[in-house]
Structure 1
Amino acid sequence: MSGANTTRLANLHDVELAALAAAGDRAAFGELVRRHGSAVRGLLRRMGSAPAEADDVAQDAFLMAFERIREFRGEGAFAAWVKKIAARLYLRRLQRERRLAGLAQEAEDGSVDAHQPDAAGRIDLDEGLKSLGAAERLCVSMCYGAGLSHAETAEALNLPLGTVKSHVKRGLEKLRTRLAPAGAALEGRQGNG
């Protein structure tokens, strides 16, 4: 691919690139992969995937997106569309490996203590997500990372809607506590007493 074509593609909007890809322009789809590949892999890692597995699932998601590119209408962001594909593929992989049944047990057996600060007293979102139980992490990641609704998440996980909402609510509460500055977390608890 020439440098002029690369520059031309880099200046196009995702919707324009998707239209070109639907017409058979592989370079246009390659630009979409370049733009959004790391975000898709990051979502999968936050959902609990190992880095190598995240790479594999992301690759599968982009292959599926390429095969279905004509279905992308540009009504939402391309990144959200491909993240939904990736999240669903990851969930199918979990179900296939029968790890989903162990999520509830793992959450009951205990997760990392959400109130224990790290050595520097700072934490980022990925570390916060690791502190959640597996079911909470999965539900929060799907609803806020992949952009799925609670109902879509419930359908994808084959869980009752209320269960998904509970996991998301508990997960977000733990994240707020975990990510809040030390003084703010204490003030919030004292004010609720």
Structure 2
Amino acid sequence: MSGATQLRYASLHDVELATLSATGERRAFGELVRRHGSAVRGLLRRMGAAHAEADDTAQDAFLAAFESITEFRGEGTFAGWVKRIAARQYLKRLQRERRLANLAVEAEELAEGAHSPDAAGRIDLDEAMKCLGAAERLCVTMCYGAGLSHVEAADALNLPLGTVKSHVKRGLEKLRTRLAPEGAELEGRRGNG
């Protein structure tokens, strides 16, 4: 791709690139992949995919997005749209590998000892997500990382809506505790008493 063409695509909005992609302009879609590939792979890793699996699933998701680009109407962000596709692709992989059957058992196991913040009081989200059970991690990531509603996540996971809501609530509570600055929990209790 020439430098001028690359600059032209780099200056366009995602919706414009999607419109060009729908006409078969592969370089426009390549710009969308360049812009959002890293975020999609990051979402998949937070859902529990290993690096290679995240790369493969992201590639599958972008291929699926290219094949159905005419369905993207620009009503939400392209990033959100492709992340939802990627999340669904990953879930299909999980179902094929029959790991989903073990989620109920894994969700009940709490990660003991993973709740104290590190010495500097700083922690990243990926590290904090490790304190969640597999079902909590999937539900939180789908609802907050991929932008699915609780109903959409329940449909995608083939779980009851109440179960998804419970996993999300417990997961968010664990993340709040894990990500809270040291001493914030005590101050919150004092203010409520």
The normalised TM-score by structure 2 is: 0.95
Shift of residue 191 of structure 1?
A: 4.8
CA distance in 1, matches of 2:11, 2:87: 28
What's the counterpart of residue 178 of structure 2? Answer: 178
Tell me if the contact between 1:33 and 1:62 (Cα under 8 Å) persists in the aligned partners.
yes
- Secondary structure (helix, strand or coil) at the match of 1:24 reads coil
1:135 aligns with 2:135: yes
Q: Is the 8 A contact 1:44 1:90 kept in 2?
A: yes
CA distance in 2, matches of 1:188, 1:91: 37
Is this contact kept in 2: 1:112–1:132, CA < 8 A?
no
- How far the C-alpha of 1:122 sits from its partner, in A, is 2.0
Distance 2:176 2:17 in 1: 38
Is the contact between residue 136 and residue 171 of structure 1 (CA under 8 Å) also seen in structure 2? yes
SS in 2 for 1:182: coil
What's the CA shift string for 1:89-112, capped at 9, x where partnerless?
000110111101112212223324
TM-score (norm 1): 0.95
Report the count of equivalent residues. Answer: 193
Matches within 5 A, 1:1-193: 1-191=1-191
Q: Percent of aligned pairs with the same residue? A: 80
| Residue segments in structure 1 that go unaligned for 5+ positions in a row | none
Counterpart of 1:63, as a letter, is L
Stretches of structure 2 lacking an aligned partner (at least 5 in a row):
none
Deviation readout 1:166-189 (Å, 9 max, x if unpaired): 110111111111101111122224
The separation in 2 between residues aligned to 1:114 and 1:52, in whole angstroms, is 26
Deviation digits for residues 2-29 of structure 1 (CA, Å, limit 9, x no counterpart): 1111000000000000010100100000
1:116 to partner: Cα distance? 2.3
Paired AA for residue 12 in structure 1: L
Is the partner of 2:24 in helix, strand or coil?
coil
Q: Structure 1: how far apart are the matches of 2:11 and 2:110?
A: 48
Opposite residue 105 of structure 1, the aligned amino acid is V
The answer to which of 126-135 and 113-122 deviates more is 113-122
